[in-house]
Amino acid sequence: MPVALFDTRTPLAPLREELLAALTGVLDDARYILGPNVAAFEEEFASYVGASHAIGVANGTDAITIALRAMGVGPGDEVIVPSFTFYASAEAIPPTGAVPVFCDIDLETFCVTPDTVRAALTPRTKAVIAVHLFGNIAPVAEIEALGVPVLEDAAQAAGSVSSAGRPGALGTAATFSFFPSKNLGAFGDGGAITTSDDAVADRVRMLRFHGSRDKVTYEHIGYNSRLDELQAAILRVQLPHLDAWADGRRAAGRHYAAAGLAELVELPVAVAGCDPAWHLYVIRHDHADELADALAAAGIGQKAYYRTPLHHQAPLVAYDRGLALPATEEAARTHLAIPMSPVLSEQQADEVTDAIRAGLAEIGVAAGASARDGG
């Protein structure tokens, strides 16, 4: 049986009536921009993550640019960002006037560490973007202990938890994406910024609405970047289910372990103290591309999301300072996302694992010859 890379349909099926009622409610109310659903969702989401404020914006990319500007980042500043992440994590920096400085990751967790950030620090560093990649949670407090404010890019980490709290409440501010395939997904684009800093929240609210508080006088060159009322209504129906879905993702990770996947490939490792709601389940293997071809032939969803790290992407090459990023290069070469969803069953995990075992045999790689031992 084919297994899709992700499944956004099954978890939403039981919520169909409630979702339709929420959409009808918006239609009946006829308020489509910054209405009662956005206000209520902002309150509910802030309370969920444990921050004082959540501010809805148009998407997770705008969220980063706006949050950085609200944190005071501007021309002449540097922002440290991992090179192994989605393009938007770095793309969102130059519009603030600052420049991205790429840092390395930890190969096992795919997240930045205090050491990889320290290597990229300069007197111009104004902020660090700690990307909670694949649902893991970067060690925010340890990075802030270096003396730089952290913006959490939590686009992939809604539903994850750590001993320090939830993503969204760990740094100076945090950004979320509600792109449909995310752990908490809208029916289109959407995003949010969370913070417990009142001044940052105030600037974010202004920036998302053209730099205005009252819609008639303008204090900044801002953005038209708002979470739509319809999307907020949809997100409000889903938010109460996020923790159960996160548990489903954790269970899927356990199904893979029980199926013996660790004997075949390198599994993702949780950052110490973190219980990830795996957004993507990303394995590593020296023959990742051949394995991907074998899985595709067997009907198993797979994708190498970041084969080219950001410091090699054409529009960002100019920002590369030549800092060695060995774990980034290695992760980029060897990673492969395999099926993950809140409803991935034991049987599906067995099927995927069997297909990986068969694929490795087909390409002539012995079991156990994974990325770790360079086989």
Give the range of 16-24, 81-89, 287-295, 317-325 binding ligand PLP by CB under 6 A: 81-89
Alpha helices in the chain (DSSP H): 16-29, 36-49, 60-70, 88-91, 114-118, 140-144, 198-208, 229-238, 242-258, 288-297, 326-334, 346-362
Backbone angles phi, psi at 153, to 5 degrees: -90, 95
Q: Cα separation of 338 and 90, whole Å? A: 25
Number of residues written out for the chain? 375
**Hunting for tokens 């206000």 — which residue is that?**
39
Is 156 an interacting residue with respect to ligand PLP (CB under 6 A)? Answer: yes
Give SS3 for 203.
helix
Tokens at 334, concatenated? 């060897």
- Which of residues 60, 149, 171, 222 is near ligand PLP by CB under 6 A? 60
Is 59 an interacting residue with respect to ligand PLP (CB under 6 A)? Answer: yes
Is 191 an interacting residue with respect to ligand PLP (CB under 6 A)? Answer: yes
Q: Cα separation of 176 and 208, whole Å? A: 15
Whether 229 and 26 have beta carbons less than 8 Å apart is answered as yes
- Which of residues 153, 228, 330, 351 is near ligand PLP by CB under 6 A? 153
Give the range of 23-31, 44-52, 140-148, 153-161 binding ligand PLP by CB under 6 A: 153-161
- Which of residues 26, 67, 88, 338 is near ligand PLP by CB under 6 A? 88
Nearer to ligand PLP, 256 or 306 (CB): 306
Nearer to ligand PLP, 55 or 298 (CB): 55
Is 155 an interacting residue with respect to ligand PLP (CB under 6 A)? Answer: yes
Whether 151 and 67 have beta carbons less than 8 Å apart is answered as yes
Tokens at 215, concatenated? 């819609």
Backbone angles phi, psi at 281, to 5 degrees: -105, 105
Q: Cα separation of 116 and 80, whole Å? A: 10
Q: Cα separation of 176 and 49, whole Å? A: 11
- Which of residues 26, 42, 53, 61 is near ligand PLP by CB under 6 A? 61
Tokens at 309, concatenated? 């790290």
Is 81 an interacting residue with respect to ligand PLP (CB under 6 A)? Answer: no
Closest separation between CB of residue 150 and ligand PLP, Å?
A: 15
> At 128, which amino acid appears?
V
- Which of residues 83, 109, 177, 225 is near ligand PLP by CB under 6 A? 177
Number of residues that bind ligand PLP (CB under 6 A): 15
Task: State the SS3 of 97-125.
Answer: CCEEEEECCCCCCCCCCHHHHHCCCCCCE
Nearer to ligand PLP, 207 or 349 (CB): 207
Nearer to ligand PLP, 37 or 59 (CB): 59
Tokens at 234, concatenated? 């949809």
Is 83 an interacting residue with respect to ligand PLP (CB under 6 A)? Answer: no
Closest separation between CB of residue 216 and ligand PLP, Å?
A: 29
Closest separation between CB of residue 64 and ligand PLP, Å?
A: 6
Is 183 an interacting residue with respect to ligand PLP (CB under 6 A)? Answer: no
Q: Cα separation of 206 and 214, whole Å? A: 9
Nearer to ligand PLP, 294 or 331 (CB): 331
Closest separation between CB of residue 181 and ligand PLP, Å?
A: 8
Give the range of 7-15, 57-65, 263-271, 308-316 binding ligand PLP by CB under 6 A: 57-65
- Which of residues 86, 102, 256, 306 is near ligand PLP by CB under 6 A? 86
Using CB under 6 A as the binding rule, the residues of this chain from 232 to 271 that contact ligand PLP are none
Tokens at 135, concatenated? 């649902």
Binding residues for ligand PLP, rule: CB under 6 A, are 59-61, 85-86, 88-89, 131, 153, 155-156, 177, 179, 189, 191
